[in-house]
Structure 1
């Protein structure tokens, strides 16, 4: 394939002016940054489009939450669209489950550069530069898509007539398609959903790039002839969203190959670290271990606040002392003393202390043995049953249903076992034997 090189930015799940979840108490400056975090991320997406002179911006759903569409969100969105219009940057939007087509129509002022795509019945849209076609954009799947009505040949739009044009397939947030690195299963009977099957069919049908909008995590899946990519959220929304967040710069070369580069946009970053503590762990050793963890995570441009969860588990006097808040404050001061610099984001630390009992206590505790047996035999059954109940329910396609589905998909059976063991140690490891 010989085409005219071009570049665009792909972002999803901006969720303008939606509050971050479970931040805990924050100092005044940090709290203001957290309150503005999603607005800051969108501003940085717009700035990146202009600074990098992209040919268009692609937003794959949930730009805002229609049910809680604030004045601040609307102003930020319209200001960003206007800035991009002044820079001659078109904006293509695939509607998501949180921002359906009806929420855009009549509520957002279009400065002339906005194109909405919301249905698999929509005709392909040509992305142009100086009147020349750079790419063809079409909808592959939408929120609430009826998977039972899909044929294995896919929507008619997959019959791509022009193989010389770079093809971009769109899967908006809430369509149910998620990208996992590695190889996609080829047999739908092995658990591959029909929407995920569409991803494979679209690539085989001639799509060069599938823009996935779920935004739960950044991931790229390479298939024969093309790639499926989810840039992840531009701003982490909760403690589970650890690490770097941003949008993706897609640079398409003359031979049709795409190079993907993450552009950090988050002002607030979550991190979570676990450290085992025992009777031999000294205060100095713990400080050093925490500092090493922090030094391995490199701050990204624009990150202003880090919210760090420390999970300290084990036994010993050092861990027992950290059950007191004043000891936690002293520990943070020692950790920060060696790490502070002009470029370091301000860090806020939270501690989760889990003390365990001795191995001898547990070995002789019949209640603990019985509890382990319950975890071993029932945890997987419980998780599978819960997933089936949620996926089969009528409300599973709602916004809250989607959040619950995503949370369940992030849970592994081993996590339930480990959490159950922590609870069991706390309640069953000491005291008299339960009869």
Structure 2
């Protein structure tokens, strides 16, 4: 099946005028503080520039463009300025409202440019885009698809001259859960109706009931999507992978396996397949997710570009929008386009024994030069993980490595660009040597603290769920904090405290030369102390002698005065 060749930029989770969060021990200048506050606005500017640079047919914004609860004027002004610039280049903008920017918020924006079309779920008619006077793309966020609805409204556009439009829809896990609940309620109501209808009219006794759910096969997939054809009594059509000829490009950058995605359960994937089939869709915009996700199916593709600007280290995998290209044969190519001006880096560095401050700074600079900057990068927030022996790490901390990095590595010249650097230095000490045999209290402590499974998300989640002292509210709060738990920092604290408690001499030299030197130093120090004490004693005795002489002289003078008075 033939399509009109087209390309578009897909962006989501812009969250305009929401500042990013950062952790650093160094004071921030006003310039840096303003850069962090304006990071999401600059990311949107990068999306607009990418749309113009790639000469796209339209820009697709799928949810959370701004946060309506913040009532940010800067967010709206930035949005209007960007879409008006696209209007100058005759680029259409399609908006799929999300959770933080509901349809009511978009309706309240005055003087929206004509090139902006908001795809409301209440509108069964899809939005259409014409390229060269030919229908090229349709977009709809309605939950129900088919040839026509109960009122005869056409919700599936037809192409002309053998050219079919590229059909785009929307899906989310929230809608999937809602569909599951509605299907369960409908099934429960149907069972009650059947049970009531099987009552004997005269006696009122139940003749036979519906089959028990206990006897049903739990392995059978639960159909949570009901197409219009199925509601009308007809059987749903079988999927025909070659019906629309949509396929993934071999050159695409999104090559991960579709069915093996960890965050998508099999039920949701079946739900997606039914939407693609019943709506005859080619592309589904996945909303409500912050992670970049691509799910390739036989009849289309499900895609979420992530977030245009990560707000913290936890979202560091985002920071891009997507360029989607569709060929005339239906081949889809999705590539990532960098849009974040603040990027998070995490770099590990092994500290060799007796490493001094200047050498470690040179190593850090070399590793920074090896990082590939994004096209929009302006600031790097670098988290350093230093691994090595505890005495070496403590020596670097005493020499103020964090201050030296902030002064010596405040910016980086890379590929003719200047990138501002912020550093957060964390230390993960190595384990101390075990005894032979490892039976001491220190060895037992290290063996328990070194079990990585204790710090996994599953283990912590199990600890929260099985606790009898936590209320449901506290369990929910602690579960929401699990993504922020840093196992390496916990391990570093355990090893540092354990070395202080059980192995106070860990890493210190114990050779005879050092002991003799220490003894000689102690002797010299004692001699100095004795000499100082002798000098102090001599001074005190001389002071006492002077005072005695003064008192004797005063007595002589007094006696002389008395003799004169007698005369």
* TM interval, short-chain normalised: 0.7 to 0.9
Q: Which runs of 5+ in 2 are unaligned?
A: 142-169, 184-221, 230-235, 238-242, 248-253, 504-567
The Cα offsets for residues 64-108 of structure 1, whole Å up to 9 and x where unpaired, read as: 011113110111112222222333222211111111112222135
Residue 183 of structure 1 aligns with which residue? 258
Is the Cα contact below 8 Å between 2:390 and 2:430 reproduced in 1? Answer: no
Aligned counterpart in structure 2 of residue 154 of structure 1, from 218, 225, 239 = 225
Alignment of 1:382 with 2:460, yes or no, is yes
3-state DSSP of counterpart to 1:266? coil
Structure 2 counterparts to residues 296-375 of structure 1, below 5 A: 296-324=370-398, 326-331=400-405, 342-355=416-429, 358-360=432-434, 364=440, 365=442, 366-371=444-449
Shift in Å, 1:155: 5.5
Shift in Å, 1:303: 1.4
Please give the alpha-carbon distance, in whole angstroms, between the structure 1 residues aligned to 2:399 and 2:116: 52
Please give the alpha-carbon distance, in whole angstroms, between the structure 2 residues aligned to 1:382 and 1:34: 33
Please give the alpha-carbon distance, in whole angstroms, between the structure 1 residues aligned to 2:297 and 2:259: 8
In structure 2, relative to structure 1, the CA distance for the partners of 1:191 and 1:292 (3 Å cut) is same
- When structure 1 is superposed on structure 2, of 274-283 and 150-159 the one drifting more is 150-159
Shift in Å, 1:4: 1.2
In structure 2, relative to structure 1, the CA distance for the partners of 1:127 and 1:341 (3 Å cut) is closer
Alignment of 1:86 with 2:51, yes or no, is no
The Cα offsets for residues 198-224 of structure 1, whole Å up to 9 and x where unpaired, read as: 223334554322222345232323222
Please give the alpha-carbon distance, in whole angstroms, between the structure 1 residues aligned to 2:415 and 2:457: 46
Structure 2 counterparts to residues 385-396 of structure 1, below 5 A: none
In structure 2, relative to structure 1, the CA distance for the partners of 1:291 and 1:52 (3 Å cut) is same
- When structure 1 is superposed on structure 2, of 36-45 and 102-111 the one drifting more is 102-111
Structure 2 counterparts to residues 215-254 of structure 1, below 5 A: 215-242=289-316, 245-254=319-328
TM-score, normalised relative to structure 1? 0.78
Residue 50 of structure 1 aligns with which residue? 52
Residue 141 of structure 1 aligns with which residue? 171
- When structure 1 is superposed on structure 2, of 84-93 and 232-241 the one drifting more is 84-93
Aligned counterpart in structure 1 of residue 273 of structure 2, from 192, 197, 200 = 200
The Cα offsets for residues 244-296 of structure 1, whole Å up to 9 and x where unpaired, read as: 72211111111111122222221111111122335354556534542343233
In structure 2, relative to structure 1, the CA distance for the partners of 1:252 and 1:274 (3 Å cut) is same
Please give the alpha-carbon distance, in whole angstroms, between the structure 2 residues aligned to 1:368 and 1:137: 59
Is the Cα contact below 8 Å between 2:11 and 2:307 reproduced in 1? Answer: yes
Residue 545 of structure 2 aligns with which residue? none
Alignment of 1:428 with 2:498, yes or no, is yes
Shift in Å, 1:6: 0.8
Is the Cα contact below 8 Å between 2:171 and 2:285 reproduced in 1? Answer: no
Please give the alpha-carbon distance, in whole angstroms, between the structure 2 residues aligned to 1:383 and 1:40: 38
3-state DSSP of counterpart to 1:240? helix
Count of residue correspondences: 407
Task: Indicate the structure (1 or 2) with the bigger Cα radius of gyration.
Answer: 2
Is the Cα contact below 8 Å between 2:356 and 2:396 reproduced in 1? Answer: no
Please give the alpha-carbon distance, in whole angstroms, between the structure 1 residues aligned to 2:428 and 2:338: 34
- When structure 1 is superposed on structure 2, of 107-116 and 246-255 the one drifting more is 107-116
Q: CA RMSD in A?
A: 4.1
Please give the alpha-carbon distance, in whole angstroms, between the structure 2 residues aligned to 1:119 and 1:52: 29
Please give the alpha-carbon distance, in whole angstroms, between the structure 1 residues aligned to 2:225 and 2:457: 37
3-state DSSP of counterpart to 1:16? coil
Is the Cα contact below 8 Å between 1:277 and 1:316 reproduced in 2? Answer: no
In structure 2, relative to structure 1, the CA distance for the partners of 1:164 and 1:120 (3 Å cut) is farther
Structure 2 counterparts to residues 226-305 of structure 1, below 5 A: 226-242=300-316, 245-279=319-353, 281=355, 283=357, 286-305=360-379
In structure 2, relative to structure 1, the CA distance for the partners of 1:432 and 1:254 (3 Å cut) is closer
Alignment of 1:2 with 2:2, yes or no, is yes
The Cα offsets for residues 128-150 of structure 1, whole Å up to 9 and x where unpaired, read as: 22442112223343574313225
3-state DSSP of counterpart to 1:81? helix
TM-score, normalised relative to structure 2? 0.61
In structure 2, relative to structure 1, the CA distance for the partners of 1:208 and 1:431 (3 Å cut) is same
Residue 214 of structure 2 aligns with which residue? none
Please give the alpha-carbon distance, in whole angstroms, between the structure 2 residues aligned to 1:134 and 1:112: 19
In structure 2, relative to structure 1, the CA distance for the partners of 1:388 and 1:64 (3 Å cut) is farther
Is the Cα contact below 8 Å between 1:310 and 1:351 reproduced in 2? Answer: yes
In structure 2, relative to structure 1, the CA distance for the partners of 1:380 and 1:17 (3 Å cut) is same
